[in-house]
Amino acid sequence: MKNKLNLLIAAGGTGGHLFPAVAVLEQLEELTDNNINAVFVGTSDRIESRVVPDHGYELVTIPVKGFSGLSPKTLSLPFRVILSIQRCRKLIRERKIDFVICTGAYISYPAGLAASLEKKKLFIMESNVSPGKTIRMLAGRATNIFTSFKETEVFFAPKNRAKVKMLGNPVRRSILKEIDQISARDKFELQPDMRTVLVFGGSLGARAINLAIEKSLDKLSKCAFQMLWQTGVNYTFDGNLPENIKMVKFIEDMASAYAAADLVVSRSGATSVAEICCTGKPSILIPLPTASNNEQALNALALLNNNAAILLDNSKAEAYLADLIISTLSEQKLLEEMGNKAKALGRPDAGHTIADFILSGDSIEQIASEETF
Q: Please state the pTM of the whole predicted model.
A: 0.81
CB 13 within 8 A of CB 110: no
Residue 54 has pLDDT above 70, yes or no: yes
In which band, very low, low, confident or very high, does the pLDDT at 117 lie, cut at 50, 70 and 90?
Answer: very high
pLDDT tens digits, 294-303 = 889 989 998 9
Domain 175-345's class?
alpha beta
pLDDT tens digits, 272-292 = 999 999 999 999 999 998 766
pLDDT tens digits, 118-159 = 999 999 999 888 888 899 999 999 999 999 888 889 999 999
Residues 117, 17, 69, 129, Cα dihedral to 10°: 100
Whether 175-345 and 5-171+348-359 are alike in CATH topology: the answer is yes
The CATH classification of domain 5-171+348-359, taken from the options 3.40.50.2000, 3.20.20.70, 3.90.110.10, 3.90.420.10 = 3.40.50.2000
Domain boundaries, the chain: 5-171+348-359, 175-345
Query: What percentage of the chain carries pLDDT values higher than 90?
Result: 71
Residue 24: what pLDDT? 95
Beta strand segments in the chain, E: 5-10, 36-42, 58-61, 99-102, 121-126, 144-147, 164-166, 195-199, 225-230, 245-248, 263-266, 283-285, 310-311
Residue 324: what pLDDT? 98
Closest Cα partner for 242 from 260, 263, 219, 262? 219
* Three-state secondary-structure class, residue 283: strand
pLDDT tens digits, 155-207 = 999 999 999 999 999 998 889 989 999 999 999 999 999 999 999 986 666 88
